[in-house]
Amino acid sequence: MSQLAARFSGLLAWFGRAKADDSEVLPVRLGVSRLSATGATPTRAQGFDQQLVWVTVALLLWGLVMVYSASIAMPENPRFAKYTHTYFLVRHAMWLCIALVGALLAYQVPLSVWEKMARPLFVASLVLLVLVLIPHLGKVVYGARRWIGVGPLSFQPSELAKFTVLLYAADYMVRKMENKEDFIRAVWPMGVATAVVGVLLLAEPDMGAFMVIAVIAMGILFLGGVNAKMFFLIAFVLTGAFAAMIAASPWRRERIFAYLDPWSETNALAKGYQLTHSLIAIGRGEIFGVGLGGSVEKLNWLPEAHTDFLLAVIGEEFGLVGVVLVIGLFFWMVRRMMHIGRQAIALERVFAGLVSQGVAVWMGFQAFINMGVNLGALPTKGLTLPLMSYGGSAILINLAAIAVVLRIDQENRTLMQGGRV
């Protein structure tokens, strides 16, 4: 009995020492981690969102393979006779390398710096959108003036504008949180900024990019707390504006009519040509596809197979299984970005959370439009498939945006482990 009492008293003494130690070193965040007795705080988070990284890598590598497959026969077309069979593959790979370097640099920039630079970057993108409209400075391709020559490469300012409008909208919502219930004070400055970008883009013309930017701005306003009445009013105004633009443009009206009846004798060889051949390609693929490299439509039948209609080639070569897999990868990527954004907002980092969710809206909406066009569910619109289609500017800006999301995740993890950002 005396031995049992001695053991019990020893246990009480140990418990008292442990409790005293705990009172000296408290966890910064319960259930997450404890700081060391030295008082040092970690400056880096352990790990990163590997799911988002690997989904991005999968889309990039698959896109590289498909760009090569879709463009390998293009030199047989007299218009591309001066190109080699690997011309687009080499340029796409080169842009991937540049984009990866840009993404690594973007990842090093703290979100506090992005927040401070949101307005200057927005102004810089406006300047570039103006410069692209200047003759002999902006390059004209297929009747559209959308590119600025940078040595042997070309840069598309509208891609940068998507990212800078996103940053500006997130910064704007953080600064105007107290005016969310006042429609005029909450919306008109953001509406004016979006309208200015829209006017410059429509002058190129690039209505597709304007649609994406408008949806990004509207999405961030909604995610930032603008009430449902305001949101639906904004959506109504934007829908009316785009409908008016289509009604006022004869060639846009023709594209809508071609979408409604692409197989008619008039449309099949005109405005409906791309859509009909995209549907033929996807139909040929059936369930499992004809095999990598086996596409027939890419043999100069389907225009822009390596850019806007890359999904049609995927559907022909990999079938329904391939299309569903692409949709699943984009769905998972958007899901991870939304999760990172919600986590940032839970940590009271509203700007970071809105940026992450804004990138998710951007990637998800643009992928949705591209897939809808390829599958015949939406009218033809010149938007590429993010991370997969050929296009250096888009790859560069897309990867930089994803790198910023990964930086947000890294800072979230640092804060949850008791560190500082």
* 3-state SS, one letter per residue, for the chain: CHHHHHHHHHHHHHHHHHHHHHHHCCCCECCCECCCCCCCCCCCCCCCCHHHHHHHHHHHHHHHHHHHHHHCCHHHCHHHCCCCCCHHHHHHHHHHHHHHHHHHHHHCCCHHHHHHCHHHHHHHHHHHHHHCCCCCCEEEECCEEEEEEECCEEECHHHHHHHHHHHHHHHHHHHCHHHCCCHHHHHHHHHHHHHHHHHHHHCCCCHHHHHHHHHHHHHHHHHCCCCHHHHHHHHHHHHHHHHHHHHHCHHHHHHHHHHHCCCCHHHHCCCCHHHHHHHHHHHHHCCCCCCCCCCCCCCCCCCCCCCCCHHHHHHHHHHHHHHHHHHHHHHHHHHHHHHHHHHHHHCCCHHHHHHHHHHHHHHHHHHHHHHHHHCCCCCCCCCCCCCCCCCHHHHHHHHHHHHHHHHHHHHHHHHHCCCCC
pLDDT tens for residues 264-319? 888 888 888 889 999 999 999 999 999 999 999 998 899 889 999 999 999 999 99
Q: Answer yes or no: do 271 and 415 share one domain.
A: yes
pLDDT (mean) for 360-373: 96
Q: Which of 248, 279, 307 is the last residue of a domain?
A: 248
Distance CA 209, CA 206 (A): 6
The answer as to whether 56 is a domain residue is: no
Q: Answer yes or no: do 139 and 101 share one domain.
A: no
Q: Answer yes or no: do 312 and 187 share one domain.
A: no
* Top-confidence residue, 410 or 78: 410
pLDDT tens for residues 224-261? 877 777 778 778 888 888 888 888 888 888 888 888 88
Q: Answer yes or no: do 267 and 416 share one domain.
A: yes
Q: Which of 218, 248, 278 is the last residue of a domain?
A: 248
Angle between helix 207-223 and helix 350-374 axes, rounded to 10 deg? 140
Task: Examine the pLDDT at 36 and tell me if it is beyond 60.
Answer: no
The answer as to whether 411 is a domain residue is: yes
Answer yes or no: are the C-beta atoms of 231 and 222 closer than 8 Å.
Answer: yes
Predicted confidence band of residue 3 (pLDDT cuts 50, 70, 90): very low
The answer as to whether 132 is a domain residue is: yes
Task: Examine the pLDDT at 192 and tell me if it is beyond 60.
Answer: yes
What is the pLDDT of the chain when averaged over all its residues? 84
Q: Which of 248, 276, 305 is the last residue of a domain?
A: 248
Instruction: Look up tokens 């410059």; give the residue.
Output: 200
Q: Which residues are within 8 A (CB) of 256 and not within 5 positions of it... i.e. 6 or more apart? A: 246, 379
The answer as to whether 232 is a domain residue is: yes
Nearest to 197, CA basis, from 158, 141, 154, 244: 158
Predicted confidence band of residue 388 (pLDDT cuts 50, 70, 90): very high
pLDDT (mean) for 353-381: 94
The answer as to whether 15 is a domain residue is: no
The total domain count for the chain is 2
For residue 215, what pLDDT is reported?
92
Q: Answer yes or no: do 74 and 163 share one domain.
A: no
Q: Answer yes or no: do 297 and 396 share one domain.
A: yes
Instruction: Look up tokens 């429609």; give the residue.
Output: 183
Instruction: Look up tokens 């140990």; give the residue.
Output: 14
What are 295's two structure tokens? 């596409």
What are 258's two structure tokens? 């071609």
Distance CA 59, CA 69 (A): 15
Q: Answer yes or no: do 275 and 301 share one domain.
A: yes
Q: Answer yes or no: do 178 and 80 share one domain.
A: no
Q: Is the dihedral of CA 387, 392, 397, 401 positive or negative?
A: positive
Q: Answer yes or no: do 281 and 242 share one domain.
A: no
Task: Examine the pLDDT at 137 and tell me if it is beyond 50.
Answer: yes
The answer as to whether 32 is a domain residue is: no
Q: Which residues are within 8 A (CB) of 304 and not within 5 positions of it... i.e. 6 or more apart? A: 274
Q: Answer yes or no: do 294 and 380 share one domain.
A: yes
**Domain with 295 in it:** 61-108+262-421
Q: Answer yes or no: do 211 and 268 share one domain.
A: no
Predicted TM-score (pTM) of this structure: 0.85
Distance CA 121, CA 109 (A): 14
